[in-house]
Chain A
C-alpha cells in the first residue's frame, strides 16, 4: 500500500544558504505558549537582568517546557500578546544590551541513565521543532522496551523551508550524536533517519555521520507532501499504522525531528539550552531569501528588515505555505517551533475564487489518511456531527492536500477545522447528557432505597 499525497512545488531556493547570524535585535518578545500543552510560567520580573541561556520561565505542567533567554539584557515587562492560535498569551519582553553574555551557570548536564537523560531533555527546553511544538521530554518519557524503532524526521516536505536541511548539512554530527544517545538509552532495533530523495546531499552527509551508530539507517523517501507528517512517516518507514486516539509509541515508534535531536545533543555537550533558531526567510515579498540564526522572540519585523523587502508584504506566515499560520501583524515573534518566516506579495496573498464542488474526488484521492473531505463539507453544512464522527474527521491532520488539489477551490481545511470543533462540542454534549441520565438513575435508586 502507498499513502497518497501531492506533488507541491519545492521552491527550496535557500537550500544552499548557510545560516547567517542576524545582529541581535533591540527587543525580543518571548511568548509563554511555544509548545503544545500548558504555557510556561515566568520566573523573572520587570527590571531583572538576564543572560543568554538563563531560565526565564519554568514548565507550567507535565506537558510543558521551560524557556530560556536567547539574549542578554533587561526584562522590560511581562506583556499580553495575541498568539498565533488567536488566544492572548503572556510574553516576556526583554531589552537587549547587545553583549550576548552567556549565563554563568551553564554546564553540561550529568546524564548517566534514562531518567537523567529525559530530565536533561526537559531542562533544555526542547519541543518538536518540525512545527508541532510538542514537549520532547514528554515524548521521551517511555520505557526502553516500548521502543521498537526510532524515526528521525528529516523529511522537510513543506515548500520553501530549508532550516532542517541546513541542520542536516551543517550539523550532521550532532544528529548522529543524538542518535547514538537515543540508541544508548532506548536500544531500539532500528534508528531510521528519514530524508526525502530531493535532498541527496543530506542523505550522503547522514549516511557518513551515522555509520558508527548501531542500528542506524538512512531511508530515502519520495519527495511527496506530506512525507514529514508523523503518521505518514511512521507508515512509510516502518509500515505501522497508528490507530485512532493512540500515540506512535503505542505501535512502538518514537519520532523526533532532526533539528530537535541536534539541539538535544548539543545541550548534552555544552549545557546551552534551546534559545535560538535557524529560520528560513523567503517568499515573493522578500528581497534576499536566506537562512538566518535569531534568538527566540525576535519579531518578524526585525527578521524582514534584516532580509529586506522587495515589495510590501500582504501575507506573512509562520512556517510553510501548506500548513503555516498567517499572522495579523509583524510584531509576531519567532518562536521555538518557527522554522520559517514567509512574506508574500499581493499576487500570492489573495484567496482563490471558489465554485461549487464538482464531485471529482480529488480531495479523497490525495488524502494521505484516506479521508473524504468533500463529505466532511456536506456533513458540516448540514450540521450533522454524527456523520462527521462516522467519517472520522477527528483523524484529519490538516496537511492541506485536499484544499491544494481542489479544482473548485473549496476551503476544505477550514471546514475540517470547524468540523472537528463541531464534533468535539457534540461529543461533550453527549457525555454531559449521559452523565445527567446516570445521575438521575442513581437518584431514583436512592429514593427507592430510602423510600
Chain B
C-alpha cells in the first residue's frame, strides 16, 4: 500500500479557473457582437471573422512549430485576438488584408515578443492601426448596414457607402442616426463595434464572470462622456459612436497590456478617454480609440510602477 506518494509544494488545491476558461469567456462575451455583425452587415461578416480567427490560430501554431516552442493554440488566446481584430474591420475588407492583419497581430505583435503574457501592446489593436495606415482606403469604406431604411429615414440612404457617425459629427452632424439606432447598432462602422447593446451584454458578462473589473470601462467611457460634454460635443453620440464600447470592454482590459490594480485601471481608462477625445475633437482622424489604447499600452509599465501596492507591514530601508 501507499507507494508512489506525490510530494509537492502547497497549495494542493487550485481554483477551477484556467487561462483557457478565461479566453473561452471572452469568446462567449463577443458572441452578441458577432450576431449583431451578421444582422447588420450580412453573412460576409461571418466570413471575415472566420478568416481572421483561422489565420490567427494557424499563425500561432506555425510560429510555435517553427520555433520549437510548445504549441499554445488550445489556450484560445489566438482565437480571441483573431475575432477581436475581425470585429474591428469593415465588412468590405478584402480577405487577404484581413488575413494579413491576423498575421501581424499574432506573429509580429504577440509571438515575436515571447507569446502570451509578454507582448507590450494589444495585438488586435496594433494590427488594426497598422492596417489603417497600410490599407487606408479599404479600412475606411463603410457600407450602409441592413435595416437602416426600415428603422429610420433620418440616415442618408446610399446603397454603396456610408459615413460613420463620428465622421458625420465632424462634418457638422447632418444626417446622424437616432440614438436608438446607435444603441442597437444600425449605423456605419466596423463589424463588431456598432451595436452598443451587444457589447454591453458581453461586457456585463465579463464583469459578472470576474474576467474583467468595472474600473477600466467605466473610467474610459466616463472620461469620454464628461470631456465631450464639457467641450459641447454631444456626449451621448460620442459615447455610442466609434469603437468606444468594444475598446473599453474588450481591448483596454487586456491583461498583459494594462495595469492589474484598480487604481492603475482607473488611470489607464482615464488616459484612454483623454486621448480618444483629443483625437476626435482636435485630430485629423475622426476616431481615436485604437490610438488611445495603443498609446496607453506604451505607458502601461509606468502606470504599473506608480500604482504598485504597498506591502502590508513593509518597512522602507
Complex contacts, B313 vs chain A, CB 8 Å: 231, 241-244, 246, 369, 395
Most buried by A among B259, B308, B311: B311
The answer to whether B312 and A235 have CB atoms under 8 Å apart is yes
The answer to whether A358 and B255 have CB atoms under 8 Å apart is yes
The answer to whether B9 and A321 have CB atoms under 8 Å apart is no
Residue from B1, B12, B309 in contact with A370 in the complex, judged by beta carbons closer than 8 Å: B309
Q: Choose the segment among A22-30, A290-298, A322-330 that binds chain B (4+ C-beta atoms closer than 8 Å).
A: A322-330
The answer to whether B11 and A327 have CB atoms under 8 Å apart is no
Q: A209-242 vs B: 1/0 string, CB under 8 Å?
A: 0000000000000000000000100010000011
Across the interface, name the chain A residue whose C-beta is closest to B116.
A356
Known: A322-B10, A327-B5, A330-B2. A371 touches B311 (CB 8 A): yes
Q: Is A81 an interface residue (CB 8 A)?
A: no
Q: Is A245 an interface residue (CB 8 A)?
A: yes
Q: Is A451 an interface residue (CB 8 A)?
A: no
Across the interface, name the chain B residue whose C-beta is closest to A300.
B2
The answer to whether B311 and A324 have CB atoms under 8 Å apart is no
Q: In the docked arrangement, what's the CA distance between A371 and B312, Å? A: 8
Q: In the docked arrangement, what's the CA distance between A262 and B117, Å? A: 50
Q: Is B97 an interface residue (CB 8 A)?
A: no
Q: In the docked arrangement, what's the CA distance between A286 and B15, Å? A: 22
Q: B255-281 vs A: 1/0 string, CB under 8 Å?
A: 110011100000000000000000000
Complex contacts, A350 vs chain B, CB 8 Å: 6
- Tell me the chain A residues, 158-178 only, with Cβ under 8 Å from chain B: 159
Q: A1-31 vs B: 1/0 string, CB under 8 Å?
A: 0010010110000000000000000000000
Chain B contact residues, majority secondary structure: loop
Q: In the docked arrangement, what's the CA distance between A407 and B308, Å? A: 21
A84 to B: closest C-beta gap in Å: 10
The answer to whether A326 and B261 have CB atoms under 8 Å apart is no
Q: A331-365 vs B: 1/0 string, CB under 8 Å?
A: 00000000000001000111110011111110011
The answer to whether A356 and B117 have CB atoms under 8 Å apart is yes
Q: Is A99 an interface residue (CB 8 A)?
A: no
Q: Choose the segment among A148-156, A195-203, A310-318 that binds chain B (4+ C-beta atoms closer than 8 Å).
A: A310-318
The answer to whether B12 and A317 have CB atoms under 8 Å apart is yes
B261 to A: closest C-beta gap in Å: 7
The answer to whether B118 and A409 have CB atoms under 8 Å apart is no
The answer to whether A314 and B19 have CB atoms under 8 Å apart is no
Q: In the docked arrangement, what's the CA distance between A28 and B115, Å? A: 54
Q: In the docked arrangement, what's the CA distance between A393 and B118, Å? A: 23
Complex contacts, B311 vs chain A, CB 8 Å: 244, 369-371, 391-392, 395
Known: A395-B314, A405-B17. A326 touches B260 (CB 8 A): no
Q: Is B284 an interface residue (CB 8 A)?
A: no
- Tell me the chain B residues, 88-121 only, with Cβ under 8 Å from chain A: 115-118
Complex contacts, B5 vs chain A, CB 8 Å: 313-316, 326-330
Q: In the docked arrangement, what's the CA distance between A316 and B1, Å? A: 13
Residue from A326, A352, A368, A369 in contact with B7 in the complex, judged by beta carbons closer than 8 Å: A326
The answer to whether A395 and B255 have CB atoms under 8 Å apart is no
The answer to whether A349 and B6 have CB atoms under 8 Å apart is yes
Across the interface, name the chain A residue whose C-beta is closest to B4.
A314
Across the interface, name the chain B residue whose C-beta is closest to A396.
B311
Complex contacts, B17 vs chain A, CB 8 Å: 405, 407
Q: Is B236 an interface residue (CB 8 A)?
A: no
The answer to whether B12 and A407 have CB atoms under 8 Å apart is no
Q: In the docked arrangement, what's the CA distance between A242 and B311, Å? A: 11
Q: Is A437 an interface residue (CB 8 A)?
A: no
Q: Is B68 an interface residue (CB 8 A)?
A: no
Q: Is A144 an interface residue (CB 8 A)?
A: no
Q: Choose the segment among A39-47, A70-78, A269-277, A411-419 that binds chain B (4+ C-beta atoms closer than 8 Å).
A: A411-419
- Tell me the chain B residues, 3-50 only, with Cβ under 8 Å from chain A: 4-15, 17-19, 21-22
Complex contacts, B315 vs chain A, CB 8 Å: 243-245
The answer to whether A361 and B14 have CB atoms under 8 Å apart is no
Q: Is B72 an interface residue (CB 8 A)?
A: yes
The answer to whether A351 and B8 have CB atoms under 8 Å apart is yes
The answer to whether B18 and A326 have CB atoms under 8 Å apart is no
Q: In the docked arrangement, what's the CA distance between A348 and B8, Å? A: 12
The answer to whether B7 and A241 have CB atoms under 8 Å apart is no
Complex contacts, A368 vs chain B, CB 8 Å: 312
Residue from B1, B6, B10, B115 in contact with A324 in the complex, judged by beta carbons closer than 8 Å: B10
The answer to whether A414 and B256 have CB atoms under 8 Å apart is no
- Tell me the chain B residues, 225-256 only, with Cβ under 8 Å from chain A: 255-256
Q: In the docked arrangement, what's the CA distance between A101 and B40, Å? A: 87
Q: Is A400 an interface residue (CB 8 A)?
A: yes
The answer to whether B18 and A407 have CB atoms under 8 Å apart is yes
The answer to whether A372 and B116 have CB atoms under 8 Å apart is no
Complex contacts, B7 vs chain A, CB 8 Å: 326-328
Q: In the docked arrangement, what's the CA distance between A134 and B10, Å? A: 20
Most buried by A among B11, B14, B72, B260: B11
Q: Is A384 an interface residue (CB 8 A)?
A: no
Complex contacts, B22 vs chain A, CB 8 Å: 358, 360, 407
A318 to B: closest C-beta gap in Å: 10
A380 to B: closest C-beta gap in Å: 14
Q: In the docked arrangement, what's the CA distance between A290 and B77, Å? A: 44
Q: In the docked arrangement, what's the CA distance between A383 and B6, Å? A: 28
Q: Is A403 an interface residue (CB 8 A)?
A: yes
Known: A312-B1, A324-B10, A360-B22. A231 touches B15 (CB 8 A): no
Across the interface, name the chain B residue whose C-beta is closest to A349.
B6
The answer to whether B2 and A326 have CB atoms under 8 Å apart is no
The answer to whether A326 and B8 have CB atoms under 8 Å apart is yes
Q: In the docked arrangement, what's the CA distance between A405 and B16, Å? A: 8
Q: Is A186 an interface residue (CB 8 A)?
A: no
The answer to whether B12 and A358 have CB atoms under 8 Å apart is no
- Tell me the chain B residues, 286-317 only, with Cβ under 8 Å from chain A: 308-315
Most buried by B among A324, A344, A361: A361
Q: Return 21 A-B CB contacts under 8 Å, by A number.
A: A246-B313, A309-B1, A314-B5, A314-B6, A322-B11, A323-B10, A326-B5, A329-B5, A355-B72, A356-B115, A357-B117, A358-B19, A358-B116, A358-B117, A360-B255, A360-B260, A403-B10, A403-B14, A404-B14, A411-B9, A413-B11
Give A residues with C-beta under 8 Å from B. 3, 6, 8-9, 159, 231, 235, 241-246, 301, 309, 312-317, 321-330, 344, 348-352, 355-361, 364-365, 368-372, 391-392, 395, 398, 400, 403-409, 411, 413-414, 417
Question: Top 8 A-B pairs ranked by shortest CB distance?
Answer: A361-B260, A400-B11, A321-B13, A414-B9, A392-B311, A370-B309, A321-B12, A244-B315
A314-B5, A315-B5, A358-B77 known, 12 other contacts, Cβ within 8 Å: A245-B315, A313-B5, A324-B10, A326-B10, A328-B5, A329-B5, A355-B75, A359-B255, A360-B260, A392-B314, A398-B10, A407-B19
